[in-house]
Amino acid sequence: MNENRVVLKFGGTSVGNSENMGKAIDKILKAKTQYEEVVVVLSAITGVTNLLIHAGRSALYKKPQDTLLKLKEKHYEACEIIPDTKIKMQTILEIDDKLSELEKILTGIYYVGEVTPRSLDYIVSFGERLSTLIVSRAIKARSVKSEHIDSAEIVITDENFVNANVDFEKTQERANGRIEPLLKQDIIPIITGFIGASKNGQRTTLGRGGSDYSAAIFADVLNAKEIWIMTDVDGVMSCDPRLVKDAYLLHDLSYLEAMELAYFGAKVIHPKTLEAAMRKNIPIYIKNTFSNSKGTLVTSAKEGQERKVKSISLLTDASIIEIKGYGLGKTTKVMKEIFREMEEEQINIMMVTQGSSQANVSFVVPSEEVKNVKNLLAKEYYDRFNVINNVALVSIVGEGMSQTAGMAARFFNAVADKGVNNLMISQGSSEVAINVAVRAEDMQKAVQAIHSEFLSAENE
């Protein structure tokens, strides 16, 4: 591990306009006073990835002039952070060149009448390529050496477009040849997040939230001491403060706790980021670009650390699928068939329970997937299923909760005391979370009851 090296990742809000970019750059330069070597990974400007996806898909039936104009306006405005007129004009010309390239790709889609995952990955890569260009030039205009780098030169993946898998060994070789020399020359690399390339050079992307993942990848292959995920919140809260007025900032989490929170709705950090950081036990700080909060530290659980509930996570817009009837006596076979179908259609199953009689199986999926699930079930013999819509998942998360007697009873009693009906309950095999599905209209009551039971000041 290099004790003098840190990786900073800035999300879309942190580079959302020229003002925010200025604050992000201040954080980068401050980090440079703490560490000799600073590596920066950037997301696209807020809203740009969605604009690019829309441009790619809508190019099938119309030319993309409106979208290109919005992209140009966003990036021209961001260039206001560059104080040197000559550098600013050079940057704007390069933005125009990249958008001209994008226009040619979109026009090609319009005439061919097809947009593939491969072409969509190429299209969305323009967001990070443009944001890194602008930030790098703005840093240079402050007389600090920096260089913007397209991570497609370094991050090697398979050809699973839109959600590619990383080859860490080959990425390590590329990083040693491309990034290490820059750091030795005291140059700050400003690297595109979210992007990789297959072995034959085709652009890929790492899935939504992939910029966080990129930061952990670079921290891994560069043996960084820490990862800082810079966002627009102070860190991870005990609960959504919009639901619980006395929610507070968590100073630390274990990797497993953070992973459970991420999986069950917390959007502060992506699960793949945690997996990559765990490979070399690299600590992650979740910090605010716009404040001086110390943030939340995510690292390995320490021996002797107090085992307690740390946070409440929420997942809304969910639905329960209940399957009952004949055939379910052979539960193993039925479950295998159901989950194989779901995997093939890339439908995320968030929670599963099985009746003790083996006569029914229930699972939770995002509400937007219900139509697809119905179609899949109707293809087979599962003609006895029911859908419960408007469901929310509420989870309590804490390392080793199963080793504390009565934890589950307290959880369910707190909810029941508010008259909230548990539609489904489960405890993960990781022993880090207990989950309950409730009706969406009961969610806030359930959350407030659970927070009062486990996380209020008098229970600390």
Report which DSSP code applies to 255: H
Sorting pLDDT into bands at 50, 70 and 90, what band is 354? confident
Query: CB–CB of 236/266 below 8 Å?
Result: yes
pLDDT digits (tens, 9 = 90+) for 128-142: 999 999 999 999 999
Please state the φ and ψ torsions of residue 421, each to the nearest 5 degrees: -85, 130
Q: What count of Cα atoms within 13 Å lies in the side-chain half-sphere of residue 128?
A: 32
Say if 137 falls within a structural domain: yes
Same domain, 192 and 59: yes
> Domain ends where: 196, 216, 232?
232
pLDDT, position 306: 63
Distance CA 314, CA 205 (A): 27
Say if 264 falls within a structural domain: no
Residue 327 has pLDDT above 60, yes or no: no
Please state the φ and ψ torsions of residue 432, each to the nearest 5 degrees: -105, -15
Say if 240 falls within a structural domain: no
Same domain, 197 and 54: yes
Distance CA 398, CA 411 (A): 13
Residue 69 has pLDDT above 70, yes or no: yes
Higher-scoring residue by pLDDT: 177, 375: 177
Same domain, 319 and 439: yes
Q: Which neighbouring-strand residues pair with 72?
A: none
Residue percentage of the chain with pLDDT more than 90: 67
pLDDT, position 426: 83
Q: Residue type for 143, please? A: S
Please state, as a whole number, how many other Cβ atoms lie within 10 Å of the Cβ of residue 83. Answer: 11
> Domain ends where: 178, 197, 232?
232
Please state the φ and ψ torsions of residue 168, each to the nearest 5 degrees: -65, -35
Sorting pLDDT into bands at 50, 70 and 90, what band is 377? confident
Say if 19 falls within a structural domain: yes
Specify the CATH number for the domain of residue 316.
3.30.2130.10
Same domain, 205 and 326: no
Sorting pLDDT into bands at 50, 70 and 90, what band is 266? low
Same domain, 318 and 215: no
Say if 273 falls within a structural domain: no
Same domain, 227 and 363: no
Same domain, 197 and 332: no
Say if 99 falls within a structural domain: yes
pLDDT, position 318: 94
Say if 293 falls within a structural domain: no
> Domain ends where: 179, 210, 232?
232
Percent of the chain as helix, strand, coil, to the nearest 5: 45, 25, 30
Classify strands 296-299 and 284-288 as parallel, antiparallel or unpaired. Answer: antiparallel
Whole-number average pLDDT of the chain: 89
Please tell me whether residue 407 adopts helix, strand or coil conformation: helix
Specify the CATH number for the domain of residue 187.
3.40.1160.10
Question: Which H helix or E strand runs over 237?
Answer: none
Sorting pLDDT into bands at 50, 70 and 90, what band is 303? low
Both tokens of 339, joined, read 């989950």
Residue 357 has pLDDT above 60, yes or no: no
pLDDT, position 348: 84
* Alpha carbon of residue 395 to chain centroid: 19
Maximum C-alpha span of the chain: 74
Please state the φ and ψ torsions of residue 92, each to the nearest 5 degrees: -60, -40
Report the predicted TM-score, pTM, of the whole model to 2 decimal places.
0.89
> What are the strands of the beta sheet with 385-397, ordered from one edge?
351-354, 360-366, 311-324, 385-397, 433-439, 424-427
Same domain, 212 and 75: yes
Same domain, 187 and 335: no
Distance CA 126, CA 402 (A): 46
Say if 280 falls within a structural domain: no
pLDDT digits (tens, 9 = 90+) for 117-171: 999 999 999 999 999 999 999 999 999 999 999 999 999 999 999 999 999 999 9
Higher-scoring residue by pLDDT: 337, 101: 101
pLDDT, position 62: 83
Buried b (16+ CB within 10 A) or exposed e, 14-37: bbbebebbebbbebbeebbeebeb
Same domain, 92 and 189: yes
Q: Residue type for 10, please? A: F
Same domain, 13 and 106: yes
Please tell me whether residue 192 adopts helix, strand or coil conformation: strand
Please give the tally of structural domains in the chain.
2
Same domain, 217 and 344: no
Residue 430 has pLDDT above 70, yes or no: no
Q: Whole domain around residue 42: which residue ranges?
A: 2-232
Cβ neighbours of residue 102 closer than 8 Å, sequence gap 6 or more:
55, 68, 71, 123, 126
Residue percentage of the chain with pLDDT more than 70: 91
Cα→Cα distances 267→116, 145, 226, 231, 237, Å: 28, 33, 20, 11, 11
Crossing angle (nearest 10°) for helices 210-221 and 168-178 = 70
Q: What number is the average pLDDT over the span 315-319?
A: 92
